[in-house]
Amino acid sequence: MSQDDEAAGQLPAFISDPRGVARRRWPWLLGVAALGAVATAVYVSQIPVSYLASATLVISDQQIPTSFVQSTIVNDPLQKIDALVGEILSRERLAPLVEKHRLYANLRKNTGMIDLVGIARANIFVAPAEAMGPKKRGTPANVFLISFRDGNPRVAAAMANDLATLFTAAAGKVRGDAARLTTEFMKAEKDRSERELREQEGLVSEFKERYRGELPTELGANTSKLDRLAIARQTFTAQLQAAEQRLADLEKLGDLANPASPYARLAALRTKLVSELAVNTEEHPNVIAVQRQIEALERDVRGGSASSGDPSHEIALRSARQEVATLRAEIARASSDAAALEARVARTPEREEELAALLQKLSVLQETYVSNLRKLEAAQLSQSVESAQQGSRVEVLDRAVPPSEPERTRLKYFFAGVAASLMAAIAVAILFELMDPVIVSAKQLEDELGLTVLGSIGRIG
Q: Which of 58, 50, 146, 36 is nearest to 94 (CA)?
A: 146
Q: Which of 420, 414, 402, 409 is nearest to 48 (CA)?
A: 409
- Kindly report the CA angle at 208 between 204 and 210, in degrees rounded to 5? 115
Q: Which of 370, 393, 390 is nearest to 381 (CA)?
A: 390
Hey, what domains does the chain have and what are their CATH numbers?
A: 3-48+409-449 (no CATH), 51-189+389-398 (3.30.70.1130), 216-373 (no CATH)
Contact 39, 413 (CB under 8 A): no
Contact 438, 24 (CB under 8 A): yes
What is the C-alpha separation between 31 and 312, in angstroms, rounded? 165
Contact 351, 216 (CB under 8 A): yes
pLDDT tens string 373-398: 888 888 777 667 656 555 456 777 88
Of 71-85, 198-212, 221-235, the range with the lowest mean pLDDT is 71-85
Task: Provide the CA 446 distance to its chain's centre, in angstroms.
Answer: 90
pLDDT tens string 36-59: 777 877 776 666 677 888 888 877
What is the C-alpha separation between 118 and 415, in angstroms, rounded? 32
Query: What pTM, to 2 d.p., does this model score?
Result: 0.48
Contact 47, 407 (CB under 8 A): no
Q: Tell me the average pLDDT across 144-153.
A: 86
Q: How confident is the model at residue 455 (pLDDT cuts 50, 70, 90)?
A: low
Of 75-79, 123-127, 374-378, 406-410, the range with the lowest mean pLDDT is 75-79
Give just the sign of the alpha carbon dihedral 168, 170, 173, 179.
negative
